[in-house]
Amino acid sequence: MRERYDVAANRAILLVVDDLEGPNAEMDSGPESTSVHPGRRLRVLAVGDVVPWPARDGYRLRFSASINALSEIGDVDLFVGARGEETGVPSPVVQRYEARPAPQMSPSLTMAVRTCVSRLPSRILWRDWHEARARLRSFVREPYDVVWYSHADAFIGLGHPSFGPAVVDLDNLEQNVIRTYLAPSKPPIASSAGYRAPRPMIRGLVRRMINWRDRILWSRLQIRIARSAMSTLVCSEDDRQRLRHGRIVVVPNGYADPGPPMEAVVSAPLLVMVGLFTYEPNLDGVRWFAHEVLPTLRHLVPDITVRLVGRHDERLLSTVRVPGITIVGEVDEIGHELRHARGVIIPLLSGSGTRIKALEALAYGMPMVTTKVGSEGLGVVSDIHALVRDDPAEFARACAQILEDDAIVRELRRNGRKLFVDHYEAGSVAERIKHVALHATLSASTPPR
C-alpha cells in the first residue's frame, strides 16, 4: 500500500491507494505525451500560486525568468491560483493566461479539525483551491509536453497527472526556513499561513505547535514530490544534498545584467537592504541587525543610515523603530537605490535556496556584508567576494570597514561582479531551464523498458 495526496478532490487529507506515490506518479511509468520532433516548439503549461508580474521579489523574479526561458523553446500557457484578486499584466511571451483566486481561508472549527488530521502543511491546507482548480481544468489543452509548477503549493493545490510530465521548482526547502523559528533562543514567529489564535495568552504556543507540525510535513511532502515529479528543481547544491530523493536538478537563481558598476565610490555612510519584508526570514534578520548589530555600528560610524527597500507591513514598523534606519518601501527602480549607497547588507539568519538580493548586489558591483545563510549556495568566499560575518559585533565592524575603506570597497566590487558574470547572469541560467524542460519532455516520450 502506498500513499497519495488527493489533489483532484482537494480534501487536504492523505488517502491510501494501491498504485500511486504522488499526484504525478504516472509520469514515472510513461504518461501519454506527444513525442518531441525536431523543429517543433514545445507545448508548455506553467502553473503558479502567485502572479509573477511585476517581478518585485525573489520568488516572482525566478518564476518570471523561468517563463521567459520556456517561451524560447515553446508556446507557454500560464495559469495562476493567486492568493487574492490580483491578476497582473501578462508578459507578451505568454500565449494564454488566466489568474483565479485561491485565497487563504478564515479560521474555523472545521479548519482546526482538518489541521489536526491532515498531512498537508498549513500554507497549502489553509487556502481554498476549489475555484482555481476547477477553472484550470477547463483552461488546459492537454496533454502538454511539459508542465512547469512554480512551488510545491501549485503542484499540490492545482496539479494533475493528465496535464503532462511535471517539473516542480521547490525554490526554498521550507523546513529549513521554519527550523530557525523553533530555536530556543528565538521568540515564536507567526506561521506563514497567518494563523491567529482566539486567545492572546495561547497564541504563541499555537504558533509554535503549528510550526513544529509544518516543519515535519514540509520535509515529507517535498520528498514525496521529488519522487513523483519528472524533475525537481532546487537553487543550490546545498539544497540538493539536503533533499537527496528523486531526480533533483540544481538551477541557481539568475539576475539580468544591469551593466558595469559606476567607477566612482559613493562617499556617503549609507547602506541598503533590499527585500520582501513580509517574509519572515527577512523580518528576523532585520530585527537582529537593528537590535544587536546597529548599536555597535552607530558607535563606530555615528552618522550611519540604513535604508530598507521593499514591500512591508506593520510588523516591520514595530521592529525597527530605532535611530539610523529609514523604511523606504517599494520603489520603481532598484538601481537608483543601489547606485547611491556605499554597500549592501544581508543579515539573514534563516532560509534556504540562494538569495536574489545577494545576486543583485553582485550584479551591481555592490560591496556586501552578509551572514553564512545570506551567502549560502553562491560560491561566495569571505573577504574575496563579500564580508561574511555571523557574530553581531563582527558584522558591525565589517559594515564600518565598507563605510570607511575605499580599497576594500573596490576589491569587493571587482571580485563580486566577476562572480556574477561568470556564473549567475540570467542568460546562462535560462539555458539550464530550457535543458531541464527538454530533458523532461524527452524522458516522458521514451517508452519504458
Does residue 321 surpass a pLDDT of 50?
A: yes
Where are the domains positioned within the chain? 2-254+428-445, 270-424
For 408, how many CA atoms within 13 A lie in the half-sphere containing its CB?
A: 17
Instruction: Decide if pLDDT at 184 tops 90.
Output: no
Average pLDDT over residues 437-444: 90
What's the pTM value of the predicted model, to 2 decimals? Answer: 0.80
Q: What percentage of the chain exceeds 70 in pLDDT?
A: 85
pLDDT in tens, 88-117: 777 899 999 999 999 999 888 888 899 999
pLDDT in tens, 214-272: 999 999 999 999 999 999 999 988 889 989 888 999 999 999 999 998 888 999 999 99
Residue 204 has pLDDT above 80, yes or no: no
Strand order in 325-329's β-sheet? 325-329, 305-309, 270-274, 343-346, 368-370, 387-388
Distance CA 338, CA 416 (A): 15
Where residue 37 falls among pLDDT bands split at 50, 70, 90?
low
pLDDT score for 350: 82
Assign domain 2-254+428-445 to a CATH class. Answer: alpha beta
If you average pLDDT over residues 50-67, what whole number do you get? Answer: 88
Q: How high is the pLDDT of residue 1?
A: 28
Residue 393 has pLDDT above 50, yes or no: yes
- pLDDT for residue 87: 73
Q: Which residue has the higher pLDDT, 192 or 72?
A: 72
CATH code assigned to 270-424: 3.40.50.2000
